[in-house]
Amino acid sequence: MISQAIEQFKKQFHKEPLIVSSPGRINLIGEHTDYNEGFVLPAAIDKKIIYAIALNDTDTCNAYALFNGEKASFSLKDIKPGGGWINYLKGVVYQLQQRGLEVKGFDCVITGDIPIGAGMSSSAAVEGGLNVALNHLLDFKLGRMDMAKVGQLAEHTFPGVKCGIMDQFANLHGQKDRVMLLDCRSLEFTYFPFEFSKEYKIVLVNSMVHHSLASSEYNVRRAQCEEGVKILREFFPDISSLRNLTSAQVEQYKDKLPPKVYDRCRYVTQENERVEKACAHLQRNELKEFGELMYASHEGLSKLYEVSCPELDFLADLAKTRSEVAGARMMGGGFGGCTINLVQTERVEEFTAFMQEQFQQHFGIIPEVYVTSIQEGANVLQPTVAIA
Ligand code: GAF
């Protein structure tokens, strides 16, 4: 991928590029909790976006996407939302400008192997990669959390997804073989070695249903949570988010909440409680208990939060019947994308064959399966070589 990006870059722009690698992410547990100021347990993975990029001494940003052969440009002087993948680049540049940073024109080639719309956050990888590249080329001295915030705001203001900070955070803070517990309120985080990884692999099974958060109900879920907080503030005046409440407290005021809002609040508060328990199990290497929490998370996402779909439910239910699987659930925003499965290393092939066969029989399509590993966050790989 890297040599292809360099070759294409030289062909298109006739100079040497800086190379940046920017990973996708998994999330073990803690879904739809980030924008409720709760807890998440993500990690950066081996699937990535690659940028070959250099400044161009103009006011124009030119990008060539190798994954679909499209070229797109925009002027630094008048950045407006719009376009497909280029919208994410525009969003990052715009948000850097909003911080008072003087972005300069650039040329870039983008490639990668993160499946789009599969819930591994290719969008955060595109945002994070550009953030790292521009920070390096223009010496912005932005910290990693600031870059994550730039990416999150880019997502809010350009594609229009009111996402939390998990994806951008994971993309920029990943460390090899370690998962991260992020408190999305204080933004404090702790790294945990992923001990299970010696005997278990993280296997993603793609439902082949492409999600699009912007056109989905993602923003509706966020609004429903906010509505819940607003109503419950009457009884708990100090709360600023669902993070401040336990599931028992939500339960207590069930009849004050519209039924859907109650279900959403119940899910989020339960999920936060699950993440805390999951971390304790992770530290004690209690895989079985950890896996059970993953199944419970899926159940909540499907029944209470209603962000699953028949294909994801099928995959999670099927995984539950397998003795080589410790835990499984849908991952990411939902409405499609992948399930995340913890599968015994020596039985990954058997698991893959079984899942693919069963899914094909049911839905007439073979699901893609990705055996992932936990890797570093977005980084510069190769420094710029002086232009001859
Ligand atoms: C998407 C969002 F971008 C994240 O912020 C997070 O809310 C996730 O869905 C659900 O946990 O990936």
Which is nearest to 294 in space by CA: 186, 161, 200, 191?
200
The CATH number that domain 198-216+307-372 falls under is: 3.30.70.3170
152 lines ligand 1 (CB under 6 A): no
Active site annotation includes 313: no
Give tens-digit pLDDT for 174-222. 999 999 999 999 999 999 998 777 799 999 999 999 876 556 789 999 9
- CATH class as words, domain 218-289: alpha beta
Residues of the chain with pLDDT under 70: 212-215, 382-388
Tell how far the Cα of 152 is from the centroid of ligand 1, in angstroms: 10
Q: Is 284 exposed, middle or buried (0-12, 13-18, 19+ CB in 10 A)?
A: exposed
* 329 close to ligand 1 (CB < 6 Angstrom): no
| pTM reported for the whole predicted model | 0.95
Residue 384's pLDDT is what?
A: 52
Do domains 198-216+307-372 and 218-289 share one topology? The answer is: yes
pLDDT value at position 291? 97
- Is there an atom of ligand 1 within 6 Å of 127 CB? no
Q: Does domain 2-193+375-387 have CATH number 3.30.230.10?
A: yes
- The whole-number pLDDT of residue 215 equals 60
State in Å: Cα 164 to ligand 1 middle: 6
**Residue 386 confidence (pLDDT):** 40
Distance from Cα 388 to the centre of ligand 1, integer Å: 44
- 333 in contact with ligand 1, CB cutoff 6 A: yes
For the chain, give every domain's residue range.
Answer: 2-193+375-387, 198-216+307-372, 218-289
Name the nearest CA neighbour of 98 among 151, 42, 143, 44.
151
Whether the complex's predicted ipTM is more than 0.95 is answered with yes
For residue 150, the Cα-to-chain-centroid distance in whole angstroms is 15
Q: How far apart are CA 210 and CA 290, in angstroms?
A: 28
Burial class (CB in 10 A: 0-12, 13-18, 19+), 248: exposed
**Of these residues, 107, 167, 263, 313, which one is catalytic?**
167
327 Cβ neighbours under 8 A, 6+ residues apart: 287, 290, 291, 292, 293, 294, 295, 341, 342
Query: Do the strands 39-40 and 178-183 form a parallel or antiparallel pair, or are they unpaired?
Result: antiparallel
- Name the closest-CA residue to atom 9, ligand 1: 333
Give the pLDDT score at 212.
67
Index of the ligand 1 atom closest to the CA of residue 35: 7
Ligand 1: distance of its center to the CA of 385 in Å? 37
**Which residue has a Cα nearest atom 7 of ligand 1?**
32
Spatial CA neighbour of 19 closest among 45, 43, 47, 48 = 48
**Three-state secondary-structure class, residue 195:** helix
Q: What's the chain's length in residues?
A: 388
Residue 32 C-alpha to ligand 1 middle, in angstroms?
6
**Measured from the CB, is residue 34 less than 6 Å from ligand 1?**
yes
